[in-house]
Structure 1
Amino acid sequence: MSKVLSNKSNLQILYEDNHIIIINKRVGDIVQGDKTGDKPLSDFVKDYIKDKYNKPGNVYLGTVHRLDRPTSGIVIFAKTSKALPRLNKLFFSKEINKTYWAIVKNAPPKNEDTLVNWLKKNPKNNKSFVHYKEVTDSKRAILHYKKIKKLDNYFLLEINLETGRHHQIRSQLSNIGCPIKGDLKYGFDRSNKDAGIHLHAREIQFTHPVSKKNINIIAPLPNDAIWNACK
């Protein structure tokens, strides 16, 4: 398990070296800029690098992947132009293993299963719809889930993705009757106070694209009563 480093930018830094930096994203942070105009996480990371290393001018930072705004957990950024294409290649070739935790209201149909669907995104409402066979503009989506804990009123699921589709975990779990806590868009009955959802990018494992050493990072859970009950 990684040691969480902190700094005056209030970033939770899980890992950093010359080529990459891994952040534990908070609920509500956006990874890259969008139409809201809110300052993205990538800019806060650039500010941190500029300040820590006294860098003049613009700071290079490559965004490798994203997490939805209402989710929390691991986000990787490339600090060098050498690391970015190599990290992109690792993601494309599925050589980065990502594990998520999700809290759902209903028990899944099976304690452990693989879900295979076709997802079609509707850009107008920023939502993905599940299909059981291929339809126009749909993409195949595969995930593996396992029930790992029963809480008082909820269930904790561990999810491993084979594909990384738009809102994949949210839509596929909702489709089996297990919407994620707080996720109004995908069928949960009420929102969370922080407008987030209980979906957390918990762990990541990969071979460092430059040093070739094994990287295994676990992101601490957000501090709320339900997540705390999962520890």
Structure 2
Amino acid sequence: MRRRTTRIEEQIIYEDQEILVCRKLPGIPVQSSHVGTVDLESAVKTYLASRGEAAYAGVIHRLDQPVQGIIVFAKNQRAAGELSRQMSQGEMEKLYLAAVDGIPCQEQDRLEDELEKIPGSNLSKVTEKKTAFSKKAILEYKVLKTQEGTALLEIRLYTGRHHQIRVQLAHRGMPICGDSKYNPKCRENNGQWQELALCAYKLSFQHPVLKKKMEFTAMPVGNFPMV
């Protein structure tokens, strides 16, 4: 995947004294321990420091590096604590768009699986039964449109497991377009590399201080099919 750099100012969707909501472009990690690697957390801290604010960017949730979509950062410990509570108690709602190879048998469905990381690799798999290392994974999807063997799904995520959406969909024969890890059909598309067609496009939560519902939408960018 091609590396991207970005001016964080161009990706900010909303900001106040407590939170900063922004778009994460595909290919940019939320966090990184590698020196010299551009990551979103560092970009937010640099942006805040440049404006004379405390360089605090509390990471509340993450997206895989190739996934694009909406991320919320807390700008202080108070906001971080409240948003983390909402996240852990399932009060933060996350909706995704995914373009998949294959047409689902059902227009909508609830998928419940046990997921387990594969030792020695950055991969996960569905297990037939619960194991000492597996974790419950739950999502719901509905089909928004279909076109020439490809379907666009809206996905509601209830748990946040490693590669969860990618693994659960691939396990049922509808891997995400552009997924080099789980889609055997992954290939170049009309001479351009097909990025992972997965976007966290809607995020809603209660403001940590104002206590009002906050809802944000950001449609996919790049060569994302059917949007």
Pair 1:143 & 2:142 matched: no
Find out whether 1:115 has 2:114 as its counterpart: no
Q: How big is the shift at 1:140?
A: 0.5
RMSD (Å) for aligned C-alpha atoms: 1.9
Does the CA-based 8 Å contact 2:177-2:194 persist in structure 1?
no
- TM-score, length-scaled by structure 2: 0.90
Rounded Cα–Cα distance in structure 1 between residues aligned with 2:70 and 2:116? 25
Contact between 1:121 and 1:128, CA under 8 Å: does it hold in 2?
Answer: yes
Measured against aligned partners, the alpha-carbon deviations of 1:1-27 in whole angstroms (never above 9, x if no partner) come to xxxxxx954541111111111111101
Secondary structure of 1:140 counterpart: strand
Structure-to-structure mapping, 1:128-207, within 5 angstroms: 128-191=124-187, 193-194=192-193, 196-207=195-206
SS state at 1:169 partner: helix
Per the TM alignment, residue 152 of structure 1 is displaced from its structure 2 partner at its CA by: 4.0
- Give the aligned partner of residue 52 of structure 2: 54
Query: Greater shift after overlay, 189-198 or 108-117?
Result: 189-198
**SS of residue matched to 1:82:** helix
Q: Secondary structure at the match of 1:171?
A: helix
Q: Unaligned stretches of 5+ in structure 1?
A: 1-6
Distance 1:172 1:178, change over 3 A: same
Separation (CA, whole Å) in 1 of partners of 2:14 and 2:142: 27
SS of alignment partner, residue 181 of structure 2:
helix
Other-structure match for 2:101: 105
Cα distance, 1:185 vs. partner? 0.7
Q: How does 1:30-45 map onto structure 2 within 5 Å?
A: 30-35=29-34, 37-45=36-44
Question: Which residue of the partner structure matches residue 15 of structure 1?
Answer: 14
Contact 2:112 2:138 in 1 (8 A): yes
* 1:146-168 deviation line (CA, Å, top 9, x unaligned): 11111345210010011111110
Question: Residue 3 of structure 1 aligns with which residue?
Answer: none
Question: Which of 78, 83, 92 is the equivalent residue of 2:79?
Answer: 83
Residue 76 of structure 1 and its aligned partner are, at CA, apart by 1.1
Offset at residue 220 of structure 1 (A): 2.5
C-alpha spacing 1:8/1:128, structure 2 compared with 1 (3 Å)? closer
Q: Which moved more, 1:123-132 or 1:92-101?
A: 123-132
**C-alpha contact 1:13 1:22 (8 A) present in aligned 2:** yes
Q: Which runs of 5+ in 2 are unaligned?
A: 1-5
User: Aligned partners of 1:124 and 1:24: how far apart in 2?
Assistant: 31
TM-score by length of 1: 0.88
Identity of aligned residues (%): 38
Secondary structure of 1:43 counterpart: helix
Q: 1:24 to 1:123 in 2, by over 3 A?
A: farther
Q: How many residues align?
A: 219
After superposition, what is the alpha-carbon deviation per residue over 1:48-105, rounded to whole angstroms, capped at 9, x for unaligned? 1122x234xx611111111000110011111111101111110000000100000011
SS at match of 1:149: strand
Question: Partner of 2:84: helix, strand, or coil?
Answer: helix
Q: Distance in 1 between matches of 2:63 and 2:167?
A: 15
Letter in 1 for 2:136: R
Q: Is the 8 A contact 2:9 2:47 kept in 1?
A: no
Do the aligned residues in 1 keep the contact of 2:59 with 2:73 (CA within 8 Å)? yes
Residues 16/201 of structure 1: CA separation in 2 closer, same or farther (3 Å cut): same
C-alpha displacement of 1:109? 2.1
